Amino acid sequence: MRSIIVLAMFLSTCAATARAADPVFPSSAGDIAVETVARGLVHPWSLAFLPGGRMLVTERPGRMRIVTRDGTLSPPLAGVPPVFVRGQGGLLDVILDRNFVNNRAIYFSYAEPFDGGGRTALARTTLDAGAAPRLTDVKVIYRQHGPASSGNHFGGRIVQAGDGNLFLSNGEHFSDRDMAQTLDNDLGKIVRITPEGAAPNDNPFVGRAGARPEIWSYGHRNPQGLAINPADGKLWQQEHGPKGGDEINIVIAGHNYGWPLVSHGVNYDGTPVGTGKSRMAGMDDPAWHWTPSIAPSGMTFYTGDLFKGWKGSLINGALKFQLLSRLTLDGDRVVKEERLLQGLRERIRDVRQGPDGALYLLTDNSAGRILRLVPAK
């Protein structure tokens, strides 16, 4: 009897150890271990790395937190302005200023309450990361021009270029899709502004009558990924299509990306989008598209050495398909896709490369996590 009890205890311990082990997934770079860095986040949306190993994380319900290396969550930071939390609206992206070490400045995007709904806004603030972390000197430097959204298609991704100027993606609010093709509003646009919120003089529509000077590109649906390719400085973007037709685009000043006149997808009821065509003269074709839709969100160019053969790849998170998509590039061409973490069964909202060369993911649900991807031992 005693030997049976000992055996049962041993098997129970083994089972608990197996449950606690980091899951491992195959890849072209060898097996990948998925480590949990932090738990207990509610619909986390964006991740930024602070000096010293801590992380800054946004939660869509309107909270920003600092996360330590051991996964401890700070209380919500004071100073976050009122946020419109409905549908896809809430607190969205966050990035550090390129000169953060000296100026402690960060930028964050959010759905701002407006006219009974919400609109995309971008704020600059100073991060006080001391014993009681808080945001100080919060200044809204950009507000989307156009009607309010009832809760859909805010875009909201931010990236800072080498010259210090900021790019911000704006969705077309779903119900206002036709406005993506007109230049008197910011819906369905990527805008470019200075750190103070002004439109740079070399923006493509500066001086054009009836056009917003902050617009950089137009004809977008709901862009939720932005990244600058460190190899050549070009801006890449991904956006949600309708039913099919999620896109990867190389964003060029003044160019039209077609929505809602052309698409590789169809409307949710199966009817054709716009002209029913996938391309038209004067509109840029995507560098890559997904049909059926994977619902991409969050992207980064991998520049590290941890994963053999991945340097220069474009890594994309997927919400609907709950996976990681790695795209191999040849210049501006996407030549191959590798789908990773199939079986993880979690919506991947953001993807970032850490200072250690590992990939960090945010899972988008009410019990969201920060995950760290490293080669399995």
Structural contact between residues 61 and 366, judged by C-beta atoms closer than 8 angstroms: no
Rounded to 5 degrees, φ, ψ at 9 are -65, -40
How far is 327 from 348, CA to CA, in rounded Å? Answer: 16
Cα separation, 88 vs 263, in Å, equals: 22
In the chain, the amino acid numbered 81 is P
Quickly count helices (H) and strands (E) in the chain: 2, 24
How many beta carbons lie within 10 A of that of residue 84, not counting itself? 25
Q: 326: which strand partners?
A: 315, 338
Task: Write the DSSP string, 9-48.
Answer: HHHHHHHHHHHHSPPEE--TTS-EEEEEEEEEESSEEEEE
Tokens 């997904």 locate to 290
Residue 187 in tokens: 């819906």
Q: Which two tokens stand for residue 32?
A: 């990948």
Helices (H), the chain: 2-20, 100-103
Which of 329, 337, 330, 340 is closest to 376 using CA atoms? 340
153 annotated active-site: yes
Torsion angle, alpha carbons of 320, 172, 161, 235, to 10: 60
Catalytic residue among 43, 145, 153, 289: 153
For tokens 């992380």, what's the residue?
A: 55
Whether residue 292 has a cis bond before it, omega within 30° of 0: yes
Residue 276 burial (10 A CB sphere; 0-12, 13-18, 19+): exposed
For the annotated catalytic residues, the residue numbers are: 153
